[in-house]
């Protein structure tokens, strides 16, 4: 599968790129192409040390979009509008949103846009033929980066296009011990996104780290 | 601990009563006191068959409130307003809300009141000295009732009163293999409640039954 990661040098994108480039062709995108190149080299050498072959390259975000059959938006919520307004070419792409609109006051809370969720906002900003799928929302960046440890979590996947959802579920199931669950249409994304501030609260109030979820 | 279960003969209340009355003094409340008495007798005999001693009695909902230091509102969301407007005496009580405002169209969705969550609605309906705590929201009724099987789930607990929250967390941790997690103030309850329609969607779209969650 050809995967483009917009924000591939960011906190979550970096670990994602490393784990995905073992099995897929990955274009690591960044606003700063030089940074993406360095990140790609680091990924290659990290995997080489483990006897694995990385298939990745560092590019600008637009090239990551152009490259991917699946495009992952590994960007913070506050970057969604400026990033998407600077990019084009999403027609017919499967676009994965792991984005969570959250804020922190005395505790972490879900702070969605008027559309109801980051996923629905993203859908409103992309051409109609783009197929937005929510996935990977509840996995901490640190867990992505800890490459020698398994990711043993459940991943709720939401989307309105069945084929795109199936593609993303297969992608999820190919990463470590992640297990994809069809959580229904894109409208359900608000719940999935809101679990992240809950997990941050659980971590904070129970002195835990990088809490994730499993459906059992 | 003295526990009153409002709605103790309902889908969730029944299994809850059985599991809690092994360790606590439980008043099983119902609008129909005769139904509560039968339910109490069934609980006693079910536990007796297993060599266990149930400490429970069947009463009307008001007596369940009066009896409990902890009062569990094991009622469907649509009954919250009529039930609470028919009851009194919640002053100084720890009131547990496992209530989830949800609805079903093509899929299950979270359908909260203007207050933002069932827990905040309940708080608004009770005297100020009542200490509302969210718990037990994401466990299916069938699981409560399957007494010979462990309940091996995480339970997010929210509340604004630390002592009440600690009491409820201890109560949770005493049931089967449940593990209580402090999820912060009562304002976080909306997220916890919304997980239930997510779990119903996950069950539905993945042909599973009685899905629960674990924080890992």
Residue B52 distance to chain A (closest CA, Å): 28
Which residues numbered 93-122 in B keep a CB inside 8 Å of some CB on A?
A: 106-110
Q: Who among A106, A202, A215 is closest to B183 (CB)? A: A202
pLDDT category of residue A89 using cuts at 50, 70 and 90: very high
Residues in B touching A202 (Cβ below 8 Å): 156, 181-183, 215
- The Cα–Cα gap between B194 and B199 comes to 9
Q: Are B111 and B102 in contact (CB under 8 A)?
A: yes
Predicted pLDDT of residue B61 = 98
Q: Please list the ranges in chain B whose pLDDT falls under 70.
A: none
Predicted pLDDT of residue A63 = 98
Residue in chain A lying closest to B187 (CA): A109
Residue in chain A lying closest to B212 (CA): A216
In this structure, the strands spanning B70-73 and A131-134 are: unpaired
Residue B157 distance to chain A (closest CA, Å): 9
Per the CB < 8 Å rule, is A206 touching B181? yes
- Please name each of the domains of chain A with its CATH number: 2-205 (3.40.50.720)
Mean pLDDT of A29-57: 96
pLDDT, tens only, A117-149:
999 999 999 999 999 999 999 999 999 999 999
Predicted pLDDT of residue A150 = 98
Predicted pLDDT of residue A155 = 98
Decide: residue B12, CB within 10 A, 0-12 exposed, 13-18 middle, 19+ buried: buried
- Which residues, 6+ apart, have CB-to-CB distance to A78 below 8 Å? none
Q: Who among A109, A187, A198 is closest to B192 (CB)? A: A198
Q: What's chain B's average pLDDT?
A: 97
Residue B145 distance to chain A (closest CA, Å): 17
Predicted pLDDT of residue A167 = 98
Per the CB < 8 Å rule, is A199 touching B213? no
Predicted pLDDT of residue B4 = 98
Predicted pLDDT of residue B95 = 99
Predicted pLDDT of residue B19 = 97
Predicted pLDDT of residue B177 = 98
Decide: residue B41, CB within 10 A, 0-12 exposed, 13-18 middle, 19+ buried: middle
Query: Quick one: what percent of chain A has pLDDT higher than 90?
Result: 100
Predicted pLDDT of residue B166 = 98
Residue B188 distance to chain A (closest CA, Å): 7
Tokens linked to A105: 């006051």
Per the CB < 8 Å rule, is B216 touching A212? yes
Q: Does B183 touch chain A (CB under 8 A)?
A: yes
- The Cα–Cα gap between A65 and B143 comes to 45
Per the CB < 8 Å rule, is A110 touching B204? no
Residue for token digits 């609805």?
B103
Residue B36 distance to chain A (closest CA, Å): 32
Q: Who among A204, A205, A216 is closest to B213 (CB)? A: A216
Q: Who among A182, A187, A212 is closest to B109 (CB)? A: A187
Tokens linked to A51: 């006897």
Q: Are A93 and A65 in contact (CB under 8 A)?
A: yes
Per the CB < 8 Å rule, is A109 touching B187? yes
Please state the ipTM of this predicted complex: 0.96
Residue for token digits 């990955």?
A26
Mean pLDDT of A24-35: 98
Decide: residue B64, CB within 10 A, 0-12 exposed, 13-18 middle, 19+ buried: buried
Helices (H), chain A: 11-20, 33-49, 61-67, 80-85, 118-125, 141-145, 162-173, 189-205
Per the CB < 8 Å rule, is B201 touching A184? yes
Q: Does B212 touch chain A (CB under 8 A)?
A: yes
Q: Does A185 touch chain B (CB under 8 A)?
A: yes
Percent of residues in chain A assigned helix, strand, coil, to nearest 5: 40, 25, 35
CA-closest candidate to residue A72, choices A1, A177, A163: A1
Give strand ranges (E) for B135-194: 154-159, 179-184
pLDDT, tens only, B158-206:
999 999 999 999 999 999 999 999 999 999 999 999 999 999 999 999 9
Predicted pLDDT of residue B53 = 95
């Amino acid at each position: 599968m050809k995967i483009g990661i917009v924000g591939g040098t960011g906190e979550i994108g970096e670990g994602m790129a490393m784990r995905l480039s073992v099995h897929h062709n990955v274009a690591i995108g960044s606003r700063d192409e030089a940074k993406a190149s360095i990140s790609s080299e680091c990924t290659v050498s990290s995997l080489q040390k483990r006897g694995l072959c990385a298939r990745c390259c560092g590019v600008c975000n637009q090239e990551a979009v152009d490259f991917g059959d699946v495009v992952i938006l590994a960007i913070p919520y506050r970057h969604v509008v400026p990033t998407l307004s600077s990019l084009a070419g999403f027609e017919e792409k499967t676009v994965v949103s792991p984005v969570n609109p959250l804020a922190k006051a005395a505790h972490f809370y879900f702070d969605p846009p008027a559309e109801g969720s980051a996923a629905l906002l993203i859908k409103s900003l992309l051409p109609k033929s783009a197929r937005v799928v929510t996935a990977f929302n509840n996995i901490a960046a640190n867990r992505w980066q800890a490459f020698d440890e398994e990711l043993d979590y459940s991943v709720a996947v939401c989307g309105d296009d069945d084929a795109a959802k199936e593609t993303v579920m297969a992608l999820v199931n190919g990463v470590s011990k992640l297990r994809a669950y069809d959580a229904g249409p894109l409208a359900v994304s608000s719940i999935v996104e809101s679990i992240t501030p809950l997990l941050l609260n659980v971590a904070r109030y129970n002195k835990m780290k990088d809490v994730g979820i499993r459906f059992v």
